[in-house]
Structure 1
Amino acid sequence: MSRVLVTGGLGGSGRWIVDRLAEDGHEVMCVDQRFAESERGNVDVRVADLTDRGDVFDLVGAFDPDAVVHWAAIPDPLDHPGGEVFENNIVSTYNVLEAAGRADARVVWASSESALGFPFAAETPAPEYLPIDEEHPLRPEDPYGVSKEAGEALARATVRRHDVPVVSIRPSWIQYPGEYVCLGNEPPAEGVGNFWSYVDVRDIASIVAAALDADIEGHEAVFAVADENYADRETTELFAELFGEVPEPCDLSGDDASISNAKAAEVLDWEPEHSWRDAAAEDVDGPTV
């Protein structure tokens, strides 16, 4: 058993992460902006303002975690002013990563595919090649994507300053069993921001668990994405229809996802287990916090 502090643990995907880590036997401190009674003996829910440096340092210092999972953020630039999105995300990320580094704790945190710059671009450009991997340039223009790119810079700085391992997970569009809202899109025009990629929330929980156990040093950024697109069409056909051509070089076949999860398999020994073909209609119990 280890001690893991999870920020954003009462959020949509955060709850699934807390549930998974508690099931794995970790002692979990779940930190959020609101309080909820925990149903588990190994989960302690705390309220904190992550933009308050003192709050964060006191909380992390008192708990003395072995690892910190930073999952709290304003998750897009659409429902809040841009300055608020950027300030909240970057200040909270700095505070949490710095506190974790001082506690000599491993860090796993939620970056985003939005760091690439495609999801919220005014005009979505074609990627430079396919599939997109972690070597693809990051060119965000919106405050959310920029906050995630800057967060990865903070992750690398945390490694240099404190010599703790940090994993930046870049989730694709997170879907929930029985509620696959991505299937309401009409590709190719709809869903172009992430090029019709997605990931099941249960696979998000499993990649976080894998990142906590992986034998790594330094900083690693990895995409968390399902193996296939959700459009049920050949991916190259979607690109050709939308952009008039397929980016080259291209190493895709059939409905392969346009974003690669190969590095996550190599570095974290992780593979997604869930597909829209089954998960969209699944009736499963929600997470227990």
Structure 2
Amino acid sequence: MDTVLITGSAGGVGAWTVDALSDAGREVVAVDRETPPTDDRRDDVDYVAADLTDYGETRQVVDAAAPDAVVHLAAIPHPEDHAGSRVFANNVESAYNVFDAAGAAGARIVWASSESLYGTVFAEDDWLPDSLPIDEETPTEPEDPYGLSKVVGEEVAAAAARRHGVPAVSLRLSWVTLPGDERRREARETFDPATAEPSGNCWSSVDVRDVVSAIEAAIDPETEVDGHEAVLIVSAENFLGRDTAATIEAVHGDRPADCDLDGDESVFDCSKAKRLLGWEPAHSWRDEVETDGESD
């Protein structure tokens, strides 16, 4: 039975990942700053508290677990509620410590990178890439500490893969939404191109269940990964139900001259995820619309 160590296990994505992998029969070691109350723990999961910015603690936890794979989800998730230096230091230090310890243990590395590394999400000025759709070859040009921490994190993952000879996959996630989250619905219902603020990710998102399926594919030993690979993990369409290119032009006042988008498809091209991981998004905001009886 495979052992998987999951950091950030108390977070939204982390908790879903712990449940999914444990239900699939894997031995799960759930790591966070604090262990959950006894009543919130699963009997089939080992819970460990650790400060992942401390290399000694991180190495001890990973060595004790002897995992086949490490899924690194722990991070400060955006630059808006913390000092920028704290966001950058926390995310980069924990990434280095986790990836180096995982590599030394011979474990496969999978972690939550972000669309923010392209630079559009938290940019001071309204701007778009030179061309759309965005793929893994699009230049990364962040101005903010969060996006920059993800650029550096991917380099750290690549270094760990080289040094230790283990596969490493950086999942470039869009805005992760959970079932029942009303924020997409509210954004869609109140959207007006004439007054809308420019969206750095052009109204993209991804369902947490699709994130979990990408993680499962990336840690699967049958998935062949040579060194480090970065892949975009995003829903197939924007969550507005509007023509993407036309909406970008209406809100931003312009669109890239090279803009090859069809209808409401996402600005992020996930074809590499399909080639490398056999992954495609299975969930859409429309699923909830149909379930709740909401009309477009």
Do they superpose with TM above 0.5? yes
Q: Distance in 2 between matches of 1:190 and 1:216?
A: 39
Q: Distance in 2 between matches of 1:268 and 1:223?
A: 11
SS at match of 1:193: coil
Which of 169-178 and 31-40 deviates more?
A: 31-40
Trace 1:246-265 onto structure 2 (pairs within 5 A).
246-265=255-274
SS at match of 1:111: strand
| Conservation of the 8 A alpha-carbon contact between 2:126 and 2:252 | no
SS at match of 1:192: coil
Residue in 2 that maps onto 1:270: 279
Aligned residues: 283
> Structure 1 187/230 Cα, relative in aligned 2: closer, same or farther at 3 Å?
farther
What is the Cα-based RMSD across aligned positions, in Å?
Answer: 1.6
How far did residue 173 of structure 1 move? 0.5
- Give 5+ residue unaligned stretches, structure 2: none
Residue in 2 that maps onto 1:10: 10
Q: TM-score, normalised by structure 2?
A: 0.92
Structure 2 residue 218 is the aligned partner of structure 1 residue 211 = yes
How far did residue 244 of structure 1 move? 3.2
| Conservation of the 8 A alpha-carbon contact between 2:126 and 2:198 | no
Deviations 1:10-45 (A, max 9, x none): 111110111111111110000011212364343111
Residue in 2 that maps onto 1:287: none
Q: Distance in 2 between matches of 1:275 and 1:151?
A: 29
> Structure 1 129/140 Cα, relative in aligned 2: closer, same or farther at 3 Å?
same
Q: Distance in 2 between matches of 1:136 and 1:277?
A: 29
**Match for 2:11: what amino acid?**
G
**Match for 1:76: what amino acid?**
H
| Conservation of the 8 A alpha-carbon contact between 1:180 and 1:276 | no
Q: Distance in 2 between matches of 1:24 and 1:272?
A: 20
- Give 5+ residue unaligned stretches, structure 1: 284-289
How far did residue 265 of structure 1 move? 0.8
How far did residue 190 of structure 1 move? 3.7
Q: Distance in 1 between matches of 2:114 and 2:3?
A: 25
| Conservation of the 8 A alpha-carbon contact between 1:197 and 1:228 | yes
**Match for 1:264: what amino acid?**
A
**Match for 2:274: what amino acid?**
A
SS at match of 2:185: helix
Residue in 2 that maps onto 1:24: 24
Residue in 2 that maps onto 1:62: 64
Trace 1:108-123 onto structure 2 (pairs within 5 A).
108-123=110-125
| Conservation of the 8 A alpha-carbon contact between 1:132 and 1:259 | yes
| Conservation of the 8 A alpha-carbon contact between 1:118 and 1:194 | yes
How far did residue 280 of structure 1 move? 5.9
Q: TM-score, normalised by structure 1?
A: 0.94
Deviations 1:27-74 (A, max 9, x none): 000001121236434311111000111100011111110000000000
| Conservation of the 8 A alpha-carbon contact between 1:163 and 1:218 | yes
Residue in 2 that maps onto 1:35: 35
Trace 1:84-163 onto structure 2 (pairs within 5 A).
84-163=86-165
Q: Distance in 2 between matches of 1:66 and 1:151?
A: 21
SS at match of 2:200: helix
Larger relative contact order, structure 1 or 2 (CA cutoff 8 Å, min sep 6): 1
2:186 corresponds, among 160, 184, 187, to: 184
